[in-house]
Amino acid sequence: MRASVSRSRCSSRNWTLPARRGSNRRRWAIVRALILGPFAGTALTLPIFDGGRRKANLAQARSKYDEDVAQYRQQVLVVFREVENNLADLRLLDDQMREQNNAVQASQRAAHLSRTQYTEGAVSYLDMIDGERQVLMSQLQASHLSGTQAVATVNLIRAMGGGWGDVPGTDTTVGSVAPASAAAVDQVAKR
């Protein structure tokens, strides 16, 4: 019902537009379209003289791309170097571990012989203790090499992109010992 009332109100009014309003604009729009053609709007928006700005922007973008490629290549080379160094460290440590294990076995045999000789009375107690000391020293060196090998393995995993999340950087070179945290020292002191 409202719609019919609105329609009747609109139809009762006279709506007229003056003939002169906008006719000149329309004529000029038609003339402009005929003279300039369909590309007049786009042609007028293109820069005619930009003072070499577009070429400079293109050169800048190319040089930025070249710089990014060079940085990427450098980073890849660094990663390859780190992986190769850590693999070489692991190979050397494996050889050292094998030799150290042989040294531990040899010192254990020597200590066993010196104990036997001591019980037979052929050598003094000092010689037997010295043999035991040699066993302990070679075992200590073997455990240090084992720890160094673990650090080198972790360094290799990190160099290949692995890790355990965002761990703050510490000194993890082969043979270094990480500093103990205060909480770890407190736990050891409580024991």
Q: What 3-state class would DSSP assign to 180?
A: coil
Q: Is the pLDDT of residue 162 over 90?
A: no
Q: Is the pLDDT of residue 89 over 90?
A: yes
pLDDT at 172: 52
Choose between 53 and 149: higher pLDDT.
149
pLDDT at 62: 95
Cα(103)–Cα(112) distance, integer angstroms: 14
pTM of this prediction? 0.51
Q: Which amino acid is at 37?
A: G
14-18, 117-121, 152-156: which has the minimum mean pLDDT? Answer: 14-18
Q: Is the pLDDT of residue 179 over 60?
A: no
Tell me the pLDDT of the chain averaged across its residues: 77
pLDDT at 161: 84
Cα(85)–Cα(9) distance, integer angstroms: 91
